[in-house]
Structure 1
Amino acid sequence: MYEVFAPDIEQHHVINHITGKEMPEKRNVLVESARIARGKIKNLSEFKANDFDALIFPGGFGVAKNLSSYAFEGINCKVNHDVEKAIRSMAEQNKPIGAMCISPVLLAKVLSNVEITIGQDKSTSDDVKKMGATHKETTHGEVIIDKKNKIVTTPCYMLDASIGQIGDGANNLVKTLFEMI
């Protein structure tokens, strides 16, 4: 059983993914996330760590633009309050957290002393090190397991990857999280 959460906030901006250009419209992160979740979604402010065995951040560039300000402020970024609260509450209860693609940056910023991967991107790996995290270089399908902090990360689209390679990383991350529960 799983539940999907997203913050009820306005997106930083809307991008036309066909042209790559910014659109002059406003969209809500929770509403847009509901499209992927097929409507079965809750506001992240309702998240209670007591009710869950694990937490997974699937990633995507929205993490760097909406769940945090990393895309604009780099190592000086701020993490959305509800995102930070969810991460901290799971960590305090010693429950596993998984993060894919760019989302390990959230863990580096909020928890600092963690071992993560974002793949092979030198700039981002340098940033997470400056945030206090240890970065381990990985390739497709690999996961980094921080046993002490119960954190599992995989690079996904931080690498030039096929959908099958993304699936391998995501499956390996979920399998590892289940083994930690």
Structure 2
Amino acid sequence: MSKQVAIILSGCGFRDGSEIYETTLTLLRLDQLDIAYRCFAPDLDQPKVIDHVSGEACENETRNMLVESARLARSEIESLEALNPDDFDGVILPGGQGVAKNLSDFAEAGADMTVLPLLRDKIVAFFEAGKPIGLMCYSSLLAPRLLDVTIPVTVGHNARIAGAISSMGGLHKTCSADDVVVDREHRIVTTPAFMTAKGLAEAAKGISKLVDKLDEMMR
């Protein structure tokens, strides 16, 4: 394995962390292409913990993003602070509401959101080095705040989030869950994934295309 991709997670579970299916499908496609990967997550507590049965907040419970993300990474994970972009050829951020609640405050602030400064520093380093970046589902909405250029991205046909992307100075493109939007100039690939996917098979097609495009850009 000569290529290395960093995967940035935000917890475990679509309601308050990284989307499990999106993460697993990403890791599967990387493995199928014989691309090495390493997972990272902020070593910080989640602002909120959500009961995935009821959808309600667990008011008296605290969970750490790194500890929760280790469930997805089978314990093969490091703190986001330890991520050195020089050691990797690309980076992928799976979606899930952890992006909107943990990596940013989009869930509360909408288009006035801020992004975790450490995350921005890491992504900017990949961007400035010309290394490809893959964003899916909620992660796509971070682009206008992460990078100081207008980049076409997609969250499928979610009008509310597409409007927020536009309000932040981004450029939203409608796209089906089994496809991708590619900005070759800036080396950014996005896919709606479970923002609009009706099932695993549909999401897998888009996620596989995203990883395939990153593979092309890393050659």
- How far residue 160 of structure 1 moved from its aligned partner, in angstroms, is 4.5
Instruction: Give the distance between the partners of 1:82 and 1:6, measured in 2 at CA.
Output: 11
Instruction: Look up the equivalent residue of 1:8 and give its one-letter code.
Output: D
2:12 is equivalent to residue 15 of structure 1: no
In the superposition, the TM-score normalised over structure 2's length comes to: 0.80
Aligned-residue sequence identity (percent) comes to: 39
Contact 2:136 2:192 in 1 (8 A): yes
Q: Which aligned pairs between 1:1-181 and structure 2 lie closer than 5 A?
A: 1-23=36-58, 24-111=60-147, 112-181=149-218
- How far residue 108 of structure 1 moved from its aligned partner, in angstroms, is 2.0
Instruction: Look up the equivalent residue of 1:55 and give its one-letter code.
Output: V
Structure 1: give runs of 5+ residues left out of the alignment.
none
Moved over 3 A (4+): none
Instruction: Give the distance between the partners of 1:173 and 1:141, measured in 2 at CA.
Output: 10
Instruction: Give the distance between the partners of 1:126 and 1:109, measured in 2 at CA.
Output: 14
Instruction: Give the distance between the partners of 2:176 and 2:151, measured in 1 at CA.
Output: 19
Instruction: Give the distance between the partners of 2:66 and 2:57, measured in 1 at CA.
Output: 19
Q: Please state whether the residue corresponding to 2:120 is helix, strand or coil.
A: helix
Contact 1:97 1:150 in 2 (8 A): yes
Q: Please state whether the residue corresponding to 1:39 is helix, strand or coil.
A: coil
Q: How many residues end up aligned between the 2 structures?
A: 181
Structure 2: give runs of 5+ residues left out of the alignment.
1-35
- How far residue 167 of structure 1 moved from its aligned partner, in angstroms, is 1.1
- How far residue 21 of structure 1 moved from its aligned partner, in angstroms, is 1.4
Instruction: Look up the equivalent residue of 1:18 and give its one-letter code.
Output: V
What value does the CA root-mean-square deviation take over the aligned residues? 1.0
Q: Please state whether the residue corresponding to 2:38 is helix, strand or coil.
A: coil
In the superposition, the TM-score normalised over structure 1's length comes to: 0.97
Q: Please state whether the residue corresponding to 2:57 is helix, strand or coil.
A: strand
